[in-house]
Amino acid sequence: MKKHKIETKCVQEGYNPKNGEARVIPIYQSTTFKYDSAEHVGKLFDLQESGFFYSRLSNPTLDSVEKKIASLEGGVAAMLTSSGQAASLIAVLNICKAGDHIISTAAIYGGTINLFAVTLKKFGIDVTFINPDLSIEELQKEIKENTKLVFAETIANPSLIITDLSKMADFAHKNKIPFMVDNTFATPINCRPIEYGADIVIHSTSKYLDGHAVALGGVIVDSGNFNWDNEKFPEFNVPDESYHGMVYTRDCGNVAYITKARVQLMRDLGSTMSPHNAFLLNIGIETLHLRMERHCSNAQTIAEYLENHDKISWVDYPGLKSNKYYELGKKYMPNGSCGVISFGVKGNKEDAMKLMDSLQLAAIVVHVADVRTGVLHPASSTHRQLTDIQLAEAGIKPEQIRMSIGIENVDDIIADLEQGLRLL
Ligand SMILES: *Cc1c(COP(=O)(O)O)cnc(C)c1O
């Protein structure tokens, strides 16, 4: 297919109907696919023929959306999952097993911190959380013999810390290990981490990609760039006896990683996205480029309004010149970062909660990154399970309100904040 610009890809990539076929990606609401010969089915299982046989592994609706997202991120292939958490889990387990070690920035999504620090630990996988501002020399001290992965978020949820992607990629590659990036907040419209050296990109598609808060989902994108033919990753280089002796690096070329994730882990774990959710996700992506522009311009206007308000003590938004990550934001996301801002009211946790309760347009929701403006108090909700030390490491303060700015008229959102702040 001709190389189109990203806005065109949002609308059209991944699905090319033939003469007389449905213009819009159809929902293949079928677990099963019918074949004329047993031999053909055998070839499908051997991956000698491409095709669909069971929707746990692949489905035509999902396939179109996977191709679209892979193209948006500049990767070679992608796999949808039932949620963002499933994407994180499968993406990591495809590389790490019991006895292995991961280095992750501490400023990441609370759910990912729990997955890494609690559940993966039970699987025998050890994680070191590091400060993302460390230099490569300082990071190098955290590398162990068994370190297999470096993990970060482009823009951390909810601390909005921006990762120096090129630095982290250099650090990982110096140690011959892959760099994985959760790009949920930036979206491929604002940043494509593969262009800065990321080897694997994941998303919670439940956020901006879907954009309407209607379907949970996740995706793993393979850049095709990492050389898995390396003694650190034997599972890619010795025959997989659970899959007819397939050697992923030998048999799958630059899609070794995503093929293994699908035929081994999706087969065994079954965290599949439903065709209907893939259909909804695709409709969301068709307007991603338009929505991100408005999310970012609204967020910028509101961040500036709050920064100048005498009842607000601080505002965190990478688009503010006062922000520690302003320069990194400009470098990696010149067109804008995301629609999420964080701020603290003058006062304490109770004042923050009072302001939230008084808002009328902005709803109190746990979700972020959809078309409707919402607010959340991370310390008492999404990050409630974290200890005070983990909270501080993740960049969360007690009086912090996270506001996910929607695509409404910005004057209405400001009027809502203004009436709420007047009550404090
Ligand atoms: C929401 C989120 C996740 C988890 O995704 P779910 O779809 O809720 O499972 C992972 N990473 C980030 C950055 C998120 O915001």
Beta bridge partners of 403: 341, 375
Distance between Cα 361 and ligand 1 center (Å)? 24
pTM of the entire predicted model: 0.96
How far apart (Å, rounded) are the C-alpha atoms in residues 130 and 104?
6
| Residue from 108, 114, 204 to probe ligand 1 pocket by mutation (most atoms less than 8 Å from CB) | 204
Query: pLDDT at position 91, please?
Result: 98
What pLDDT, on a 0 to 100 scale, did the predictor assign at position 416?
Answer: 98
At the fourth CATH level, the homologous superfamily of domain 289-421 is Aspartate Aminotransferase, domain 1 (3.90.1150.10)
Q: Where in the chain is the domain with CATH 3.40.640.10?
A: 8-284
pLDDT digits (tens, 9 = 90+) for 175-217: 999 999 999 999 999 999 999 999 999 999 999 999 999 999 9
Note whether 197 and 167 are within 8 A (CB): no
Averages of pLDDT over runs of 10 residues in the chain (424 residues) are 87 97 97 93 85 94 98 98 98 98 94 96 98 96 98 93 97 98 98 98 98 98 97 96 92 96 97 98 98 98 98 97 97 97 90 94 94 91 78 79 97 98 94
**In the chain, which segments carry CATH 3.90.1150.10?**
289-421
CA 265 to chain centre: 19
Task: Record the tokens describing residue 314, joined without a space.
Answer: 């601080």
Check if the beta carbon of residue 237 is closer than 8 Å to that of residue 228.
Answer: yes
- Is the distance from the beta carbon of residue 151 to the nearest atom of ligand 1 less than 6 Å? no
Q: At what angle do helices 60-73 and 275-285 cross, to 10 degrees?
A: 30
Helix (H, G, I), strand (E, B) or coil at 120: helix
How far, in Å, from the CA of 209 to the mean position of ligand 1? Answer: 12
Q: Is 374 helix (H, G, I), strand (E, B) or coil?
A: strand
* Residue 387 confidence (pLDDT): 79
Residues in the chain: 424
Cβ distance 171 to 140 under 8 Å? yes
User: Which pLDDT does position 320 carry in this prediction?
Assistant: 98
Residues 218-243 pLDDT 10s: 999 999 999 999 999 999 999 999 98
pLDDT, position 384 = 79
Residue pointed to by tokens 């393979």:
222
Going from the Cα of 109 to the center of ligand 1, the distance in angstroms, rounded, reads 7
**CATH 3.90.1640.30, applies to 8-284:** no
- CA 219, CA 188: separation in Å to the nearest integer? 13
Continuous segment of H or E residues that includes residue 305: helix 288-307
Q: Rounded distance, CA 263 to CA 52, Å?
A: 12
